Amino acid sequence: ETGVTQTPRHLVMGMTNKKSLKCEQHLGHNAMYWYKQSAKKPLELMFVYNFKEQTENNSVPSRFSPECPNSSHLFLHLHTLQPEDSALYLCASSQDQGGEQFFGPGTRLTVL
């Protein structure tokens, strides 16, 4: 196991719902990441937090809202999503930005 957990593993939501994805790392890392993986597209970096500070927002729509209360936890709050937001959302952590990243198992999100 990589030491990075994600919940829930599967989520189905309507376009008007509000939900949150949770990521927790037990590795003592300083950087955490959210990625989106859609079918037949490269992994897309969404957000980066380093020492709890957001250092990257890769032009992500405001319907995705990240939160990093401490260096071990990362949330992705979802609101008014679109069907095209259906994807596998992966969380990762690394000791420092640019180093080896450890990934969680992902949350498979389906927006109806």
Partner 1 sequence: SQQGEEDPQALSIQEGENATMNCSYKTSINNLQWYRQNSGRGLVHLILIRSNEREKHSGRLRVTLDTSKKSSSLLITASRAADTASYFCATGTNNAGNMLTFGGGTRLMVKP
Nearer to partner 1, 3 or 61 (CB): 3
Single out the residue of 7, 13, 96, 112 in contact with partner 1 (rule: CB under 8 A): 96
Hey, how many other C-beta atoms are within 10 angstroms of the C-beta on 112?
Answer: 10
Single out the residue of 49, 76, 81, 106 in contact with partner 1 (rule: CB under 8 A): 106
Single out the residue of 11, 21, 81, 90 in contact with partner 1 (rule: CB under 8 A): 90
Does position 42 interact with partner 1 (CB under 8 A)? The reply is yes
Cβ burial 65-76 (10 Å sphere, 16+ → b, else e)? ebebeebbebbb
Does position 45 interact with partner 1 (CB under 8 A)? The reply is yes
In sequence order, the 6+-apart residues with CB closer than 8 A to the CB of 2 are 27, 102, 103, 104
Single out the residue of 11, 76, 92, 111 in contact with partner 1 (rule: CB under 8 A): 92
Does position 88 interact with partner 1 (CB under 8 A)? The reply is yes
Q: Pairing mode, if any, of strands 4-7 and 102-103? A: unpaired
* Measured distance between the N- and C-terminal CA atoms of the chain, rounded to whole angstroms: 32
Residues that bind partner 1 (CB under 8 A): 2, 4, 6, 41-43, 45, 48, 55-56, 88, 90, 92, 96-106, 108
